[in-house]
């Protein structure tokens, strides 16, 4: 088998395969089919107007969504930038599954009784030109009783170390799961190997395949091996969707008496959000998303994405933070602004109640700073857009 795979790799001139102990990845055929697997798109946070996001359906295992020829948009969709990283889990049908040498239509494909990890599973890739994905070199790092697998960088330049050719596969049936960026993956705990887990903290973000919507369902691909499908082809994976919620704050000068507005070093803080300890994104084969939980008043994060600009000659501050999905309908989330108003350090605290912060949604708040005599005051409004009939739950 190893010798056969070696011959296939030579014919493809761009594929290097090793034998998979759990079974073959492709039938034994003389003709090699080269299929380039291209990076998925990024689905942004919510945007004005209705979204073309469709629920996968209660109890659906997603097999009916495996062969989507044209991916529908999810919010604003754009290709992953060159240099982006992601982890891939690539599954193949379990033992006993029979491939046909060719299929006239994907509807002829028999649903596998089970799926199993292929030899490409839990490997990181970096996005290159035109969406091609190149395998990254990895290294294991021990932190206490835990072992993390992470992308390896050049010690001097800091560049990601990648090796091998772009990801290309022979024909067969595959299911692709993806999560980006390729954050350190927990692979061993207390000396025992475990199902890899990406841990996401408040203030960070993660995009992944998601079983809640068919456009983001782990993409199934049938690579046909008949003569009509020979030659180099390319397949793009399903869009990734944000697994965190995004809070955006716009701070503006509210009247002509506020001449200068900036942030102190301590910036903007948010508290009352979901605790990190509940935030394990268990990246499993079913694409289970991060659970929405009630916030804790002691859990917080700092806005790291901050932009300061001028509008009509006046200072405007826009800041963003990603938070784990939080149910704050029965408790309060607080935002603390550390500002400098007309060269005077000033603090404001605002409480937000009756709000559900869901994954893939953006929540926008506006804060206007005014002067009432010698007293600095602020007015606050929630500008979050809510659309009727949007299936994003």
pLDDT of residue 312: 86
DSSP 105: S
pLDDT of residue 374: 59
Beta pairing, strands 219-223 & 293-294: unpaired
Calculate the average pLDDT of the chain: 75
Fold of the domain spanning 245-382: Immunoglobulin-like (2.60.40)
Residue 241 CA to residue 207 CA, distance in Å, equals 5
Question: Is a pLDDT exceeding 60 seen at residue 14?
Answer: no
pLDDT of residue 339: 93
pLDDT of residue 299: 94
Q: What percent of the chain has pLDDT over 70?
A: 70
DSSP 276: G
More confident call, 145 vs 73: 145
Neighbours of 375 (CB within 10 A): 7
Beta pairing, strands 305-311 & 314-323: antiparallel
Q: What is the pLDDT of residues 261-271, one digit of tens each?
A: 999 999 999 99
**Cα dihedral 208, 214, 217, 221 in deg (nearest 10):** -130
pLDDT of residue 248: 92
Q: What is the pLDDT of residues 46-65, one digit of tens each?
A: 533 334 445 544 334 445 45
Contact of 160 with 127, CB cutoff 8 Å: no
Residue 130 Rama label (left phi>0; alpha psi -120 to 50; beta): left
Contact of 333 with 355, CB cutoff 8 Å: yes
More confident call, 238 vs 383: 238
pLDDT of residue 48: 34
pLDDT of residue 34: 66
Residue 302 CA to residue 354 CA, distance in Å, equals 22
Which residues are within 8 A (CB) of 272 and not within 5 positions of it... i.e. 6 or more apart?
295, 296, 297, 299, 300, 326, 328, 331, 332, 333, 334
Q: How confident is the model at residue 282 (pLDDT cuts 50, 70, 90)?
A: low
- The segment with the largest mean pLDDT, out of 165-174, 224-233, 382-391, is 165-174
Q: How confident is the model at residue 255 (pLDDT cuts 50, 70, 90)?
A: confident
pTM of the model: 0.76
Query: What is the average per-residue pLDDT within 134-138?
Result: 93
Q: How confident is the model at residue 10 (pLDDT cuts 50, 70, 90)?
A: very low
pLDDT of residue 66: 53
Question: Is a pLDDT exceeding 50 seen at residue 4?
Answer: no
Query: What is the average per-residue pLDDT within 289-307?
Result: 91
More confident call, 138 vs 211: 138
Which residues are within 8 A (CB) of 265 and not within 5 positions of it... i.e. 6 or more apart?
338
CATH 2.60.40.3740 in the chain, residue ranges: 245-382
Number of helices (H) and strands (E) in the chain: give both, helices first.
Answer: 1, 30
Query: What is the average per-residue pLDDT within 238-261?
Result: 88
Tally the residues of the chain. 393
More confident call, 375 vs 325: 325
Residue 94 CA to residue 113 CA, distance in Å, equals 7
Which residues are within 8 A (CB) of 126 and not within 5 positions of it... i.e. 6 or more apart?
83, 84, 85, 133, 134, 136, 151, 160, 162
**Residue 8, SS3 per DSSP:** helix
- Expressed in angstroms, the distance from the first to the final Cα of the chain is 47
């Amino acid at each position: 088998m190893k010798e056969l795979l070696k011959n296939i790799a030579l014919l493809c001139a761009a594929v290097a395969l090793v034998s998979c102990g759990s079974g073959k990845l492709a039938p034994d055929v003389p003709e090699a089919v080269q299929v380039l697997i291209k990076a998925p798109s990024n689905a942004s946070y919510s945007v004005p107007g209705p979204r073309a996001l469709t629920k996968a359906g209660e109890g659906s295992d997603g097999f009916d969504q495996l062969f989507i020829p044209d991916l529908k948009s999810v919010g604003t969709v754009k290709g992953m930038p060159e240099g982006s990283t992601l982890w891939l889990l690539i599954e193949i049908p379990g033992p006993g599954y029979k491939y046909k040498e060719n299929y006239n239509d994907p509807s002829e494909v028999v649903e596998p009784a089970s799926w199993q990890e292929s030899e490409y599973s839990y490997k990181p890739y970096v996005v290159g030109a035109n969406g091609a994905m190149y395998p990254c070199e990895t290294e294991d790092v021990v932190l206490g009783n835990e072992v993390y697998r992470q992308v390896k960088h050049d010690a001097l330049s800091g560049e990601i170390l990648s090796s091998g050719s772009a990801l290309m596969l022979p024909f067969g049936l595959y299911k692709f799961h993806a999560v980006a960026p390729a954050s350190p993956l927990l692979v061993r705990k207390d000396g025992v190997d475990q199902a890899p887990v990406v841990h996401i903290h408040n203030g960070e973000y993660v995009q992944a395949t998601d079983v809640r919507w068919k456009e983001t369902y782990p993409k199934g691909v049938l690579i046909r091996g008949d003569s009509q499908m020979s030659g180099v082809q390319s397949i793009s994976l399903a869009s990734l969707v944000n697994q965190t919620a995004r809070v955006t704050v716009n701070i503006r000068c509210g009247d002509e008496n506020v001449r200068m507005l900036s942030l102190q070093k301590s910036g903007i803080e948010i508290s009352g959000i979901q605790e990190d300890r509940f935030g394990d994104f268990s990246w499993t084969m079913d694409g289970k998303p991060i659970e929405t939980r009630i916030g804790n008043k002691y859990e917080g994060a700092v806005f790291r994405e901050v932009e300061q600009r001028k509008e009509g000659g006046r200072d405007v501050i826009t800041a963003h933070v990603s938070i784990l999905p939080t149910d704050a309908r029965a408790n309060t989330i607080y935002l603390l602004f550390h500002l400098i108003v007309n060269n005077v350090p000033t603090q404001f605290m605002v409480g937000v109640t009756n709000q559900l912060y869901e994954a893939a949604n953006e929540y926008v708040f506006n804060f206007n700073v005014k002067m009432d005599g010698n007293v600095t005051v602020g007015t606050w409004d929630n500008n979050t857009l809510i659309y009727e009939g949007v299936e994003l739950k």
